[in-house]
Structure formats: structure tokens, C-alpha cells
Amino acid sequence: MFEVPLLPRNLSAAERDLAHPRERVRLEAVRDLARWVEDPEERGARVELLGRASRDAALAVRKQALLALADLADARALPLVRPMLRETAVELRELAVLVIGECAVQEDEVAIGDVRPLLGASEPRLRFQALAALARLAPAERAGAVSDALRDPDAEVRTLALELVDELWPRSATPTEVLDGVERLRDELDPRARLLRELILAERGQASTTVAILEVVEGRVRLRSVELTARALEAAGRLRLEPARPGLERRAFSWSASGTFRTTARAALAALGDPRAVASMRKELAHKSRARAGSALLALVRANALEFRPEVERAYEEFAAASEDVRQELHEFLASC
């Protein structure tokens, strides 16, 4: 039988149900309170109620309330969650750090003081969350914190540190101490982290192994991340990895290959001088769909296909206006030719 879904509770109904004897009802009330609202006054009331729910008798309700406060990202949650940094349940302390990282403004000294000591916590999950929060809140402390985390005994903390290197620093501005830490990081990484390490070093002109890049290109390692897979193919072209040629050819021209990476693989092969790929990419650049042509142009730039410098120069004005990131990529390619 068809049932009409219930509408989310309004503020007064949620407040009433936070006192309900059944845990499931209280959980549902918390989820309804997590909805974003534009009105600052009502949002403040929701934060206050979620703060109350974060002290519920049931652990599941408390955890859900903290997650909701993190989603709302409202600074009024900070005094409500600070006492939870002293909780005995590690998952509550972890979520309290998450809330502080999401709700505090950058360079908030009190919030930074809350999370900084937890970089040395005995529990890996606390170190993980503290690193994520500090990287957002304290730009001046990022390099030191990330460098230390690259030596952390926990694999997930080390992987987060790699992700932060990739996210926070442009290729030419990565601190030396951070790059040295990435270079030293070799053992006990999962396939995704191994690839990320190689890409970080390769994209910043550092000597590196290419084992993980080749594993992805050849399909021996399959990643969920489309972006990382594409970057591996681009790196194979940019680094002129001849051993990657067979894997790139299968991705570029095999009838059974996924279309997701076909253009990227052809761009990498064009960078390796493959005549069929060069001809195919020239055809793509002339396509009547300018969005499709633009995608092909960016793939060639990212694979550092130098033969296409004239085409990039002619298309610069048309595509550089797409975004500042695209303009920067085109500029760096032309400057390197």
C-alpha cells in the first residue's frame, strides 16, 4: 500500500520529540533539526536543541546530534561541544573535534587551542580528526602538522596527510619539509595512497617511482575515484612512460574500454607521439561542441603534449575565461614549452 512520507518536524515538534521515551523517535527528531534553514534565528534555535540532544542518554542520539551540528557549521555550536572533548567515549570526542573544525572560523585561536593537543592523542581517530581540523583552522601550522602526520604510525592518518598535501599546496609552493615527508613515505600504503604519493611527487617535478601509476594505467589496480584514475593516465603521458603505452592503447582504442577515460588516454598517447592518438585529438579539438573541444584541450595540457602548443595558443583566449584554474593550467603549459 502506498504511504505518503511524513513531512519533517517543525521546530516545536522536534523539541517535543527530543524528550520522547523512545530512542528512535529522538533520533528522527535530531535528523529533522539538521535541515539547513536560512533564518539565522531559527538556525540558532536548532543549534541549541541539537546541543541539548548531544547530551542525550543514548549514545546514538548524541552522535547524530554532533554530526548534525557539524553539518550546520554554525559557530554557536562551539561552547556546546567543548565540554565533550573531556568525554570518556572516544567517538564523542572525535565528533566534538569534527564540530569544532567545521564550525570555527579560520585562525580562531580558542578553537585551534582545542584541537592542537589532540594531534598527539593516543587514539588514531582523534589524531585524524584533529589534523583535518587544524589544517582548516590554522594555515600557519599546516606544514608542520602535515609533516608530522606523514610519519604517523597509523595508515589512515598518513593517508589523510597525503590528501592534505594534494589539496592545500599548489605544485610550485609545497613546503620542502612536506615534500621530503612525502618522499620518505613508502611503506604500508594502500593502492590509492601509493598512487597519490607518486602523483604528488611527479606533479611537483620530484624523482619518484611510477609503479602505482602503471598499475592503474594497466588496470591491475582499479580505483573508485575517477579523478585519481584520470590523473594517473595524464601522468603517464606527462612523464613519457613508455611501459604505459599498451595500457593506454587499450583504454584509448579498444572497443571494450570504458568511454570515461578514452579522451584522457588518447591525450597521454599523443604526448608519447602515437600518430593515431595525435590525429584523434586534433579531430576532437575541431569538434563543433566547444565543451567537448575544451575537454580535449585540457587533457592534452595535463598530459603535457607539447606537439599541441600551437593549438593551445590559438584556443587560449576562448578557454582561459572558463575559470581561474583553467587559465592557470593553460598558462603553465605554454610557459613550459
**335 vs 50, residue with greater confidence:** 50
pLDDT digits (tens, 9 = 90+) for 219-231: 999 999 999 999 9
Residue 3 predicted with pLDDT over 60: no
Model confidence, pTM: 0.86
How many whole angstroms separate alpha carbon 215 and alpha carbon 225? 15
Q: Please choose, from the candidates 314, 315, 310, 317, the residue with its C-alpha nearest in 3D space to the C-alpha of residue 337.
A: 310
Residue 198 belongs to a domain: no
pLDDT digits (tens, 9 = 90+) for 195-220: 999 999 998 888 778 999 999 999 99
Band the pLDDT of 319: cuts 50, 70, 90. Answer: confident
Do 127 and 5 belong to one domain? yes
Residue 77 belongs to a domain: yes
Q: Please report the pLDDT score of residue 1 as a whole number.
A: 45
Q: Please report the pLDDT score of residue 187 as a whole number.
A: 67
Do 1 and 133 belong to one domain? yes
Q: Please report the pLDDT score of residue 122 as a whole number.
A: 96
Residue 143 belongs to a domain: no
Q: Tell me the residue range of the domain where 65 lies.
A: 1-105+117-137
Residue 298 belongs to a domain: yes
How many whole angstroms separate alpha carbon 122 and alpha carbon 102? 23
Residue 2 belongs to a domain: yes
pLDDT digits (tens, 9 = 90+) for 255-283: 876 788 999 999 999 999 999 999 999 99
Residue 335 belongs to a domain: yes
Are the beta carbons of 133 and 97 closer than 8 angstroms? Answer: yes
Do 130 and 4 belong to one domain? yes
CATH code, domain carrying 95 = 1.25.10.10
pLDDT digits (tens, 9 = 90+) for 24-75: 999 999 999 998 788 889 999 999 999 999 999 999 999 999 999 999 999 9
Phi-psi region of 205 (alpha: psi -120 to 50; beta: other; left: phi over 0): left
Residue 4 predicted with pLDDT over 70: no
Tell me the mean pLDDT in the region 94-100: 98
Q: Please report the pLDDT score of residue 32 as a whole number.
A: 93
Residue 90 belongs to a domain: yes
How much of the chain, in percent, has pLDDT values that exceed 70? 97
Residue 182 belongs to a domain: no
Do 248 and 132 belong to one domain? no
Q: What is the 3-state secondary structure (H, E, C) of the chain?
A: CCCCCCCCCCHHHHHHHCCCCCHHHHHHHHHHHCCCCCCHHHHHHHHHHHHHHCCCCCHHHHHHHHHHHHHHCCHHHHHHHHHHHHCCCHHHHHHHHHHHHHHCCCCCHHHHHHHHHHHHCCCHHHHHHHHHHHHHHCHHHHHHHHHHHCCCCCHHHHHHHHHHHHHHCCHHHCCHHHHHHHHHCCCCCCHHHHHHHHHHHHHCCCCCCCHHHHHHHCCCCCCCCHHHHHHHHHHHHHCCCHHHHHHHHHHHHCCCCCHHHHHHHHHHHHHCCCHHHHHHHHHHHCCCCHHHHHHHHHHHHHCCCHHHHHHHHHHHHHHHCCCHHHHHHHHHHHHHC
Residue 138 predicted with pLDDT over 50: yes
Total count of domains within the chain: 2
Q: Please report the pLDDT score of residue 330 as a whole number.
A: 85
What does the CA dihedral 130, 131, 132, 133 come to, rounded to 10 degrees?
50
Residue 68, all three cell numbers: 548534525
Band the pLDDT of 6: cuts 50, 70, 90. Answer: low
